[in-house]
A and B are shown apart, each in its own frame.
Chain A
């Protein structure tokens, strides 16, 4: 089981004019063994940062991360190294995962060698098997990363992580470069392996349809915080937070017949640059159609709105429940 308790991240950048930005603010959630939490939200809201903190690629500024009761955030380097292979991330940019001077064969074989999972001839067999499970061919093993297409490299990155049979996977947009059909194949594979090996998964995706298919629970992030969290059916069936509603109302489904004006617009494209740190209150206030006085004064806490469903909005009780119509919704006017 993965447990994230109040993690925060502040980045400081700039050499002369140092500035700090709070990127993740008090994020907590829990994922049971063998289950998947879908992490969704706007570009730049902090999903990758949360993911990288979980696998300890970046140090949280505050908070705790526990996996199977072990506090990862306190582990000494030696113990962490031993745990490493069990806790894996699939990077959003697949080129991150590869040494550009290594052939795919070597990149895929390395984890076996490094972790003494296999030797000699066996490595070759395992690598061959892996490349085929993700729909590629032995010939791809002889290539360098730049000699593969975007979607091919992304699948190799996935294969490399699966090779280690991890107990926890942070999958950061793992199918963003795949066409819908191959995406379906890869996601089906991932689900099947999860059923078999019972790994725990944090699945980051911009694609709500995909997040819905993959996840037992969904956490919606907005500007560094979780604004809504609950069972997948509950989030899609009765979304409460105005941001979640806007997000769900904006799913695009191909329908060129309908013309090409977009109907997404319950969400204003306000430049997200109202100085919110100074403004105080709810971080969604500048774009929220329901904002009131209290929203500018007090930050809404993540409160229970229904059994097993939490939402951070002062006004969730006043908002009429809506049914999100994700499947088959046509969003072109």
Chain B
């Protein structure tokens, strides 16, 4: 096992109470595997990624265990963690505009990572930075451009190039295809596949995405998150073919190719979660018990689990 997360809780202190962004997350990732993390906006996907890389703000109270190659990252001194970050585990962030440095050209930003983490010399790093940009479909002549001179999708891809510059054993990619048109999306999917499955030994990836097409194409297993909890996990094909959690079903039914179909109701407040099953106010299958008792994860097949009483 490359990564084993047990009972991870991330609570943010706020004026209104604790925001339970991750509320007892268990997750496993095998070497060479691509695990997809999908789910509702605001359900805690990014927070989970930031918890693994320990990049959460100070207002976050974190508990539980994040075992990476048997080592608990949550207990590591910051200095050690810095070594893990980059060479071992790296993250492609969701918001390129605030993650890129506006004062440096994208070439410099990629080269900097290459020098620091791969020990490349100036010239080699610059060369490689150009190659990485090309891989994401940005012609190398853009290398001297500043973030504000790029289009939204190009900035997004520059972020991917930075993430790949580390060549980590575990890549956490947070919405890497957001806002990209289909042809570029395909190119990025192929690229992500090539840098994980295509190298030997294969590398692992935690792919956070709300694009179900991308998740279907790229992931081996899928975990579905709702209100700070994993509500379903399983092999990707199995989850798509046979979704068992009412939320997963609603999500799959909402694909725009089926028309504009929304799950009724809105996501709950993470400060005042509904009692019992967090999904019960919106669930079509809810019964009395759901409003009182929180469901535990039930295993319903080989590597397929669902957090629902009536799955």
Contacts and interface: CB of A to CB of B under 8 A. Distances in A.
Contact of A48 (B152, B254, B267): B152
Interface in A75-96: 92-93, 95-96
Interface in A267-305: 267, 269, 271-273
Nearest to B247: A181
Given A151-B41, A254-B216, A256-B240, A181 B182 contact: no
Contacts of A148: 42
Contacts of A178: 41, 210
Interface stretch (B24-32, B64-72, B111-119, B137-145): B137-145
A260 interface: yes
Q: Indicate the member of A41, A172, A177, A326 with the most B CB atoms within 10 Å.
A: A177
Contact of A142 (B15, B139, B236): B15
A44 B14 contact: no
B216 A44 contact: no
A180 B144 contact: no
B257 A135 contact: no
B182 A252 contact: yes
Interface residues of A, number: 71
A95 B181 contact: no
Most interface-central of A43, A137, A182, A262 (chain B CB within 10 A): A43
B141 A273 contact: yes
A246 to B, nearest CB: 7
Contacts of A208: 182
A260 B190 CA distance: 10
A267 B181 CA distance: 13
Contact of B217 (A13, A152, A210, A260): A260
Contact of A326 (B15, B96, B257, B262): B257
B42 A152 contact: yes
Contact of B46 (A13, A149, A264, A271): A149
Interface stretch (B1-9, B123-131, B172-180, B292-300): B172-180
B41 A250 contact: no
A206 B180 contact: yes
Contacts of A253: 213, 255, 257
Interface in B258-311: 258-263, 266-267, 269, 271
Given A95-B98, A96-B97, A139-B271, A252 B213 contact: yes
B189 interface: yes
A254 B211 CA distance: 9
B149 interface: yes
Given A42-B181, A142-B16, A206-B181, A150 B262 contact: no
Given A93-B152, A177-B210, A327-B257, A152 B41 contact: yes
Contact of A272 (B16, B45, B139, B258): B139
Contacts of B15: 142
A150 B46 contact: yes
B95 interface: yes
Interface stretch (A1-9, A158-166, A184-192, A227-235): A184-192
Interface string A124-144: 000000000001110100110
A110 B237 CA distance: 48
A11 interface: yes
Contact of A254 (B45, B98, B252, B266): B252
A328 B190 contact: no
A209 B216 CA distance: 18
Given A93-B95, A256-B236, A269-B137, 9 more contacts: A93-B97, A95-B97, A95-B98, A173-B179, A177-B41, A181-B261, A184-B261, A206-B180, A260-B217
Interface of A: 11, 13-14, 40-44, 47-48, 92-93, 95-96, 100, 135-137, 139, 142-143, 146-152, 172-173, 176-185, 187-188, 206-210, 213, 246-247, 250-257, 260, 262, 264, 267, 269, 271-273, 326-329, 332
Nearest 8 interchain pairs by C-beta = A151-B41, A43-B153, A252-B213, A209-B256, A184-B262, A254-B216, A181-B254, A135-B266
